[in-house]
Structures are given as C-alpha cells and as structure tokens.
Amino acid sequence: MCARSLQTPDQAYLDLLDGYRTRVAGGAAHRDEMLAPDGTVKPVWVPFITHLGSLTAADLSQRFARGDQYLRDAGVLYRQYDESLSSEREWPLSHIPVILGEAEWQEISAGLVERADLLEYVLRDFYGDNELVRTGQLPATLLGQNPAWLRPIVGLGKTGANLLNSLSFELGRGPDGKWWVISDLIEAPSTAGFAIENRIAMRRVFPNHFNNANIHRLAGFFKDFQQTLMDQKGRIDGEIALLSPGPMNQNYPEHAYMARYLGLLLVEGEDLIVQDGKAMVRTVAGPKPISLLWNRLPSAMVDPLELDPGSMLGAAGLVQALRDETLKTVNMVGAGVLETRALMAFLPKIARARLGRGLAMSNIATWWCGQKTQRDHVIANAHRMMVGNAFSTTSLIADPTTISLGSDADGAAAARLADMLRVSGRNLVGQEAVTLSTTPVWEDGALVARPMCLRISLGRTQDGWAVMPGGYARISAGDDAKALAMQRGGKVADVWVTSPDPVQTPSLLSQGTRPASRSSTRGILPSRAADNLFWVGRYVERAEQNMRLSRAYYARIADGADHADALPAHMRAALMENVLPEPQVIAQRFATPLGLGLQAASRISDRLSPDGMMALRSLVQQNNALDHRAIAADDRPAQISSLLRQITGFAGLVHENMYRTDGWRFLSLGISLERAAHMCTVLAVCTTGAAPAGALDLALEIGDSVNAHRARFQVWANAATVMDLLALDPQNPRSVRYHVTRAREHIAHLPHQGSGHVLSEVARLVLMAETRLATRLPDDLTADFLGQLRQDIQDLSTALNDHHLV
Amino acid sequence: MKFSIRLTISHHYDQPAANSRHLIRVVPRTIPERQHLITHALDLSPAPDARSEMVDFFGNRVAICTLMEPHSEMIIRLACQVEMTQPGVWQDQSPNVADLCRAWETGTDLGADSPFHFLGPTQRLTPDKAIADFARDHFIPADSVAANVLRIGQALHDMMTFDATATTVDTDASEAFRLRRGVCQDLSHVMILGLQALDIPAGYVSGYLRTLPPEGGVKLEGVDAMHAWVRAWCGPEQGWVEYDPTNATRVGTDHIVVGYGRDYSDVSPVRGHLRSSGGQRNSQAVDVAILP
C-alpha cells in the first residue's frame, strides 16, 4: 500500500507537505515526528498523509466535526479548576494522530518496562530496608525531609506482592532523536481512559483509513489490566473498587469511564468505612467488604487518621486495613514518593549499580543541588537549566513556579539564582531545559508543526509489564519547542502504533474474563450512589411538574387571561410558591431543579447510560439557551412543550434502557414519590369549593389526563371524577395511587425489607399509605386527607433515607 | 524515683457520634537507662468495638479504638507507674553548628532517631521568617550546639508569656510567636522552627510533668494536662538533648516521655475521626504523684 501511494502522489498531498516542510525547516534545531531529518516523510506516516491528501477541505471539516460530536455526546470535556470555580470546555482533540512504527514502539516499550522494574525496586527499598540510603546511593535527606514519603507506610514494602501495577510515563524526543522520560506518573496517572476516548473519536474521523492501516488496538491492554486487578485481589473476599476524589476532580469523567469499562465499583471516601479490621463500602444493603482499591487519590489523602489529617477524600482506618493485609491498593499507597523530582538525579546511578549499565529509557538529566558537585554544575550551566523545588512531585515543565533563565538572561539574574542555590541547595533541583520534537496539527486548513510529548501507560500482567500500544500525546499551543512551554495548554492527539502486518482485534467484552466476579460488582449499590439516583429522580420530576404548571399558566395568559385574574392568581399563590408573574422567575422554578438534577446525575454518571446523561445535559443546555423574557407570551406554551418533550424523553430512557438494578429502583422511587406528593397538592388546591372556575380542568391538564377523562367519563369534569382519575385510578400513570403502588413494589424488592412476615419501617409506611388511599371513595378525598397523604409520602421518603441512604 | 500517673481525657459530643476511630498516644515509653514503664492500664468508656495496639514509626505506643454505635461521650482513662533514673552529670560534648551539619549531611541512617526526620518542614510546621530571625539573634556560631539550644530556649521562655487562653490546639506557631503568648505546645513549636532555621535537627516531645515540686521548689507550668517540650540533636556524641521552653529547664527526672515526633500532629494524645453533626467539648485531667 505504501509503495502504491508513493507512486501516485496527487497535487493536494504535495501541497500539504510543502507548506509543512517550510514551517519545520524554519524552526530551531529539533526533530519532527513526520519528517525525517532529510525532509522526506517517514514511511510510517505515508499511508495516513496520502489519505489526508485525498480528502477535500469540506470532507475534512465534516469528519472533524463528527469526531468532536462523539466527544461531546460522550461527555468528554476538558475541565479546569480555578480556586472554587470550575469551567468546562471542549476536549481539545487534534484530529491529526501521532504515528509511530512498531519497531520504534518496541524499543520504547522495552525501555519503559526496564524503568518500571527499577522503580518497583526503588519503592520496595523506600518502604522496606532503606538500603539505598544506607549504602550512600541516595542522600538520606531526600526521604527524611520528603513529604511524599509516608512514615505510617514504612515497613509495608516488605511484602512479597508487587507494589506497582499501573504506571504512566511522559516522554519527549530530544534533538538527537532519542526519547527521554520527562516525568514518571505513578500516582493516579490519568492517561488510559482519555486514550480510549481519543481513539473512538478518531475512528469516527477516519473510519475507512482505520480498516486497513494496521493500527494496533487498545482494548487488549485493558483486558490484561482487568485481569491484573483480579489477580491482585487474589483470594481476599470482597469487591474491587476504583477510589475517586469525586466529581469536583478534573479527572472524574475518566474515573467514571474506567470504572464502567472495566466493571469496577466506583467509590468515594465517604462510601468507605473500616469495620472489624476490614474496609467496607456502605451500600443500600449494609456494609460490603472491599478487597482491592484502584486508588486515584493522592496517597496522603487516603486516610485522614494516619496520613493527611485535612483530607476530606479518604476514609479513616484504610492504612490499618493495609497493615492488616485485609486490603490491597493499586498502586501501593505512598508510591507517589517516586515522583519526587530530586530522585531523577539518582535513578541513573541506582540503575547502573543494579543493572550494571545505564537505563535504556533514562530521564531528563537532573541535578540535586544539596551536593556540591551537582550544585556547581547547575550554577555553571544555569542558562540551560530549569530550577525548582527538589521535593515537589509535579514535573518541572508543568510547574508555573519553575525558574528558567534562558540563554539571554542577564548576569544579575544568574547571580541571584546562584545565591539561592548556595543558600538552600538542599531544597532545589536543576534539570536540563529540554527541547521537544514537533508533530503536525491541523490549523486553518494546513498542517502546522507543534512541540509534543507522549504519555504512555503500563499495566502489570501475569507475564510482566504490558505497554499500551498507543496512548496520547500532549501538543503545545505555540511553536516554542522548549518543554516548559507545554504548560500553556494546547491539544491532545491519539497515538497510533502501526504494524507492517495486520493486527489482532481484541475486545473487552468478547471472552469475558471471570464473568462471575464482574456481575457481582453490578449488584452492589453504594448508599451515596443510591441517594444521588433518588434525587436525580426527584429533581427531574420536580422540573417536569413545574414545566407543566408554567405551560398551563402561560396557556391561560395566551388565551387572554390577565395575571391578576382569579385562576392565574390562585395558581401562583397555591401552586407556584407565590412567584411574581415574571417570565424569568417562573422559568427559574424548573431551571433550578433541572440544574440540581444534572448535578446529582453527574455524581453517578457511571450508573446512568451515556444516552441518559446526554439527554439530561442537552435539556439543561437548551433551557439555559432560552431567554424567557425575549419569548412572546403567545409562544411560551410551545417553547415549554418542546422542553417537556425532552424531559419525558429522559424519563423514557430511564424506564426503557436502564438495567433493573437497585439503582434503577431508587431513581424510579424518586420520580414516584415526587410525582405522588405533587399530585396530592394539585388535587387539594384544585378540587376545593374555594377554587376558582376552571381549576378542575387545570388539574386534568397538569395531570396530562384531559383525554383520559373524556374517554372514561363523557361528562364535564367534577371533583369526584377528577379525584377518581388522578388520585385513585391504579391504571393512570399520573395518579397518586399508581405511584404509591409502584413505590410499594420497588420497596418490596430492596434489600433487607424485614425478616419473614415482619415488615421494615419503610415497607410498613408505604403499605399503610397505599391502603388508606385505596380504601377511600372519590367523595371522601378531602383537602385534609390529601395533605395528610402528602405528609405520609414525605415521612416515607425520610424513612427510606434513614434505612438505606445514610 | 517512681511515679504514679493518672490521666482522664473526656470528649463530650453535642450530637451522638458514631463510626468513630481513634489513635491514642498516652502511655509512657520505656527508654533504656532513663525511664521504665512498670505497669499500665488504659481503659475506654464506652467499651470499644475493636481495639488493637501498634508501635508507630517513631517508636511510640499507639492504641487504636473504634466505636461504631452512637455515643455521646468517650472517656479515656490511663493509670500507670513509671520508674525514672537520675541522669548523669551534664556534660556538653556537642560540636559547633557547622560541624553538626557536616555530621548529619553524611549520615545514612533513617531509623526513628535519625536527625533527618527533624529538619522540617512538616505539614504543620513551615519555616517562619520572624522565628528564624529570632533564633539567629541568639545564635553564636562559635558556641556548641547544646549551648545555643539552651540559650535560644531560655530567650524564648523570657520572651513569651504562658497563657492558656491565647491559643488553641490548632494555633500555628507563627501566630503564637506573633502574639508572644501560648502554652507548652506553642512554645515547643516555635523553638523547633527556630532551631531548624539554624539547621539544628529538632523534634517535639509529649509527656507528663511531676505535679508537686520537690520541697522548696516551684510548681511548674503545665502540670494539669499533658505537657510538651523539645529535643534537639547535638551531634553523634551528645545525641538528643531535651529542653522544656515553657519552664526554661533541661529535662530531668520530672519529665516523663510519652511520644517523640516532629510536631504535635505526630504525637497528639488523641487523634480521631468520627461521624457527628454537632460540636464537641474536650477536657483533660492529669495527676503525677511520687511513689514512696
């Protein structure tokens, strides 16, 4: 295929390259990923560039949009956190991949595996015998003064089990063409999940190219890793869970995605307790044991009792469970110490002592300024150094406080730096200010060269380390090839490893590994997740009810009623919390619960279908885009109807698409209890003698039962027929009875509903409410009775909360 | 000399607490040739659901207790007997600070008493310029480390006023120093930061103080609760020297050691985590009597 493409280069292809070649040649001394030093396209890039050249500009923008649409639909967003404010923007996918040949990939892989093994050895020593310090290979102060070296963990490195099981590395290619490790990402490396999402998006952008380009698939890596987690858990009884900092963390979407993809329970610290020496997850069915945590918290946050006392993310007692060996974590808690910058100054020497040679994949040259010779080197070469805190675990290129003088710095600045190095060298580290290679991105209809670095993930398998064949690349926003410029943000790209031969196509689902263990995870519902699901149901239902009220209100205004007329005034006073007749204020009554519903949903996005999340998100977006003041009064009912169609679409997704788990029951319970309570109020307000004319029709309209009433009664509505249809009718999905009965059925299926014939408090309350309602006649349904029933439903909600959710 | 020590720590919760888990560090250490724990009994009420013991990184004895059921108070009671040995005559064998730094810089030991753990910073004790300046004002480079430690401790004692109302258990050292007021915990934290600013390894000691002075002596400050003082590393020959800045005295047989750490957080008598919606009131009572 390569050869044929080369024989027939069309004009577009040549144009693409000419422009790019000029731009690369204009840059400083660095390597380019696509072009060889002689300016020719590297063979592994030829098929793709040929394909790209065959597409028209219109084609391309349509394809890029398809990829972006996938990411939006999947909820892959780039989140930034600034103090307490968070903002979301589109995932910055570069639609041009970074392509590496299999041979080069294997070389990189072998180097990273060797490095991973060395890191395992070092970590074992740090939390074990401290031979590296004792034999002078590492200055004692680099552990003694290191906040990432967690003393309560010391001694736990002496176990026989592997301490590291999941790693990522950030690599850059230097001007000589060699790859260097920029940072070892040990703790909560967020790479893998993003890599899958990028890949899926890229398959949408270049579908036909993927079919025969021999690009290595990523799924096999995850299948192996899933097996690793199973193996690590070993014979300990209990679930495997992914411990996440929660939705406020920028990587939460990845955590939710990985948990769903690998079939793991997603938990947060508040879900966990340690009881009888075992880590447990609090579920709606009581505490259940956890045997393995894939920890995505910074280590020090894992246990507020023994580690960082300020941590709100972990759970007290987890360190004790680790000591008692009733719990394992991937990676070992405390492993983050390997990210200490100053360690990079000693790893090459430690490698030589252990392996008898240098590492194949070494890190950027680094000097710890606590030793005179190293300090003097940094002072003498200050113009090509980055300098920063020796004990930080953020890479120097990612740290805004990093000092980088550059070659044009004045003497005074250099003298100040030298002074600082002499006074507090122990706390400082110098690192070579490396230059990165460039790779093409698409900007304004042309290929442009931008500096990039690679992120690559490793997972331990039974056969040793497995390297993900691909990964993701971070691409700089500007053309400054200094690695430090990366922190200004930019794009991310999919990394393709291509083979000369056809590649295998594994799937995570096909030969499901140990299906029994996976399905058991599905049955576990943490109380916090159940609580959020319950409130998604309640808030979304509340939003729907308020939309129906608003539509009914504006329908009357559109028909010529005045805001001060009896019925509109009565509606506002009795059903709409005395709102002012302002469009914005009335719209807020459904905008607020919608927003809260989405918030609750995004806390448990791993448990809702992607379609459900998408429906909710687009509903909120559509509503936020409306300027209710600008809509003509006549158009308001139609506008609200359009929102209503979408919200019932969400409810439909819940009922048609959700697996019938306890989670679904809590969501459905939320909807039913909210709807039943709301209908009690509507009926109490609209059926009293004091209600203005038209109130009964209003109740039917809000209850979406105008047609049903016509079909059943063939008379004008009176209080008894409305009560019959909307309070008592067990077949009407808008009636109080229908939802109280459905709630009773859900509750009967929840765990721990009494033993034998003795009902639980929740089961008792719901049965009493149902019975009281079912044994009433339409004429006996007074406002007082409905008010009491509403209170009963509220008590039921509280009891449910106490029993299952707290 | 034998002491009988009694300690009661009470926690009262406005709303019942549940799922509580506590690390308790109140039992005196045994230190060869200095302090020997003869017997002890540590009781909790209500009785914990689970209780275990461990020795932490610094060699302190820790009881770990969990109480799952709702409870509105927790009371910890310790009764123990300790025998103290009279130290030998004080001799200063410490080098000057420059030599001290050379001594620890080349060290390769990371054991519990290694000076490397005590150079700072910790999460709780971060360098403070005013405290560092104060320490430098009283620092004489040509003098021995021990002489400097004692001088700085005395100066700190003279400068700060013992005041149990000015600070709380969470007050940071910089704030206490600015106020020139505080209790043993604050004075110890300030002294540690001052010594560390001079590259002298320094740590925190928690313990008990003899309640009634020997005949003719003065009643010391800090006898009605657990006490705290400082230890400084004065070189390989001299080892660790303990000093009580609250009472401006070197530590002898009246100071009974419970815990060694880098700061209060490492040795706090009770470190806990629990689920409760209300506030909490704590109290502490200590009695240290000489046994015949």
Nearest-CA distance B255 → chain A (Å): 27
- Whole-number pLDDT of residue A609: 77
Of A154, A277, A323, the CB nearest to B50: A277
Q: B123 and A140 in contact by Cβ < 8 A?
A: no
Confidence of residue A377 (pLDDT cuts 50, 70, 90): very high
Best B108, B117, B274 member to test A by mutation, with max A CBs in 10 Å, is: B108
Please give the interface size between A and B, counted as residue pairs whose CB atoms are below 8 Å apart: 68
CA-based nearest residue in chain B for residue A156: B57
A37's tokens? 């030093």
Burial class (CB in 10 A: 0-12, 13-18, 19+), B109: middle
Q: Is the pLDDT of residue A403 over 50?
A: yes
ipTM: 0.95
A13: confidence class by pLDDT, cuts 50, 70, 90: confident
Give the integer Cα–Cα distance in Å for A797 and A460: 46
The residue among A494, A451, A455, A437 whose CA lies nearest residue A169 is A455
Query: CB distance B120–A145 less than 8 Å?
Result: yes
Cβ contacts of A310 on chain B, cutoff 8 Å: 123
Query: Would you call A275 and B66 a contact, using CB atoms and an 8 Å cutoff?
Result: yes
- Which member of A151, A277, A305 has the closest CB to residue B57? A151
Identify all chain B residues contacting A141, using CB atoms and an 8 Å cutoff: 105, 116, 119
Q: Do A152 and B56 touch (CB under 8 A)?
A: yes
- pLDDT class of A487 with cuts at 50, 70, 90: low
pLDDT tens digits, one per residue of B228-265? 999 999 999 999 999 999 999 999 999 999 999 999 99
Given A277, A308, A320, which is nearest B123 (Cβ)? A308
Closest by Cβ to B107, choosing from A140, A273, A308: A140
d(CA A555, nearest CA chain B) in Å: 47
How much of chain B, in percent, has pLDDT values that exceed 70?
99
Q: With cut-offs at 50, 70 and 90, classify the pLDDT of residue A77.
A: confident
Distance CA B41, CA B84 (A): 19
CB contact under 8 A, B110 and A133: yes
Search chain A and give the residue with CA nearest B106. A139
B21 closest CB neighbour out of A145, A308, A317: A317
Average model confidence (pLDDT) across chain A = 88
Residue B110 forms contact with A (CB below 8 Å): yes
Q: Which residues of A touch B120 (CB under 8 A)?
A: 145
Q: Which residue of B has its CA nearest to A276?
A: B50
Q: Is the minimum CB–CB distance between B56 and chain A shorter than 8 Å?
A: yes
- Cβ–Cβ contact B55 with A under 8 A: no
Residue A25 predicted with pLDDT over 80:
no
Contacts of A129 in chain B (CB under 8 A): none
pTM: 0.87
The 3-state secondary structure of chain B, one letter per residue = CEEEEEEEEEEEEEEEEEEEEEEECCCCCCECCCEEEEEEEEEEECCCCEEEEEECCCCCEEEEEEECCCEEEEEEEEEEEEEECCCCCCCCCCCEHHHHHHHHHCCCCCCCCCHHHHCCCCCCCCCCHHHHHHHHHCCCCCCEHHHHHHHHHHHHHHHCEECCCCCCCCCCHHHHHHHCEECHHHHHHHHHHHHHHCCCCEEEEEEEECCCCCCCCCCCCCCCCCEEEEEEECHHHHCEEEEECCCCEECCCCEEEEEEECCHHHHCCEEEEEECCCCEEEEEEEEEEEEC
**Amino acid, res. A220:** G
Q: Lowest-confidence range among A77-81, A362-366, A384-388, A535-539?
A: A77-81
Q: Is A712 helix (H, G, I), strand (E, B) or coil?
A: helix
Interface touch B110/A140, C-beta < 8 Å? yes
Q: Which of B51, B110, B263 to mutate to test the interface with A (most CBs of A within 10 A)?
A: B110
Of the spans A33-42, A342-351, A402-411, which averages the highest pLDDT? A342-351
8 Å CB contact between A544 and A644: yes
Residues in chain A closer than 8 A to B66 (CB atoms): 274-275, 317
Instruction: Express as a percent the part of chain A with pLDDT over 70.
Output: 92
Residue in A125, A126, A151 to test binding to B, most B beta-carbons within 10 Å: A151
Q: Does B271 touch chain A (CB under 8 A)?
A: yes
pLDDT category at A506 given cuts 50, 70, 90 is low
**A377 vs chain B: nearest CA distance in angstroms?**
20
pLDDT of residue A517: 43
Task: Report chain B residues whose CB lies below 8 A from the CB of A320.
Answer: 52, 64
Q: Tens digits of per-residue pLDDT, A315-335? A: 999 999 999 999 999 999 999
Of all residues in chain B, the one with the smallest CA distance to A320 is B64
- Band the pLDDT of A793: cuts 50, 70, 90: very high
Mean pLDDT over the full length of chain B: 93
* A297: nearest Cα among A319, A277, A321, A325: A319
Average pLDDT over residues A136-147: 96
Which chain B residues are Cβ-neighbours of A130 within 8 angstroms? 110
Q: Calculate mean pLDDT across residues A418-437.
A: 92
What's the pLDDT at A1?
39
Nearest CA distance, A367 vs chain B (angstrom): 17
Residues of A in Cβ contact (< 8 Å) with B49:
276
Contacts of B50 in chain A (CB under 8 A): 276-277
The yes-or-no verdict on residue B197 having pLDDT over 80 is yes
Chain A residues with beta carbon closer than 8 angstroms to that of B117? 144, 151
Partner residue facing A305 (CB), from B21, B107, B115:
B21
**Residues near A484 by beta carbon (within 8 Å), at least 6 away in sequence:** A386, A396, A397, A402, A404, A433
For residue B58, list chain A residues with Cβ-Cβ distance below 8 A.
Answer: 151
State whether B116 and A154 contact (CB < 8 Å): no
B273 to chain A, any CB pair closer than 8 A? The answer is: yes
The answer on pLDDT for B206 being more than 60 is yes
User: Measured between CB atoms, which of B21, B57, B108 is closest to A316?
Assistant: B21
Nearest to A145 among B56, B108, B119 (CB): B119
C-alpha distance from B247 to closest chain A C-alpha (Å): 30
Interval B110-118 mean pLDDT: 96
Q: Buried (b) or exposed (e) across A71-96, using 16+ Cβ within 10 A?
A: bbebbbbbbeeeeeeeeeeebbbbbb
Phi, psi (degrees; rounded to nearest 5) at B55: -110, 125
How confident is the model over A8-29, as a mean pLDDT? 69
**What does the pLDDT average to over A56-82?**
82
Q: Is A435 helix (H, G, I), strand (E, B) or coil?
A: strand
Q: What is the band of A481 on the pLDDT scale with cuts at 50, 70, 90?
A: low
Using CB atoms, pick whichever of B54, B116, B121 lies closest to residue A140. Answer: B116
B114 contacts in A (CB within 8 Å)?
140, 144
Q: pLDDT tens across B38-95, in order? A: 999 999 999 999 999 999 999 999 999 999 989 999 999 999 999 999 998 999 999 9
Among A136, A145, A323, the residue with its CB nearest the CB of B108 is: A136
Q: What is the pLDDT of residue A434?
A: 84
What are A's interface residues with B at a Cβ cutoff of 8 A? 130, 133-136, 140-141, 143-145, 147, 151-152, 154, 273-277, 304-306, 308-310, 316-317, 320, 323
For residue A151, list chain B residues with Cβ-Cβ distance below 8 A: 56-58, 117
Residue A515 has pLDDT above 50, yes or no: no
- From A687, A724, A692, A689, select the one nearest A705 (Cα to Cα): A724
Chain A: nearest CA to B218, how far in angstroms?
38
Return the minimum-mean-pLDDT range out of A25-29, A290-294, A388-392: A25-29
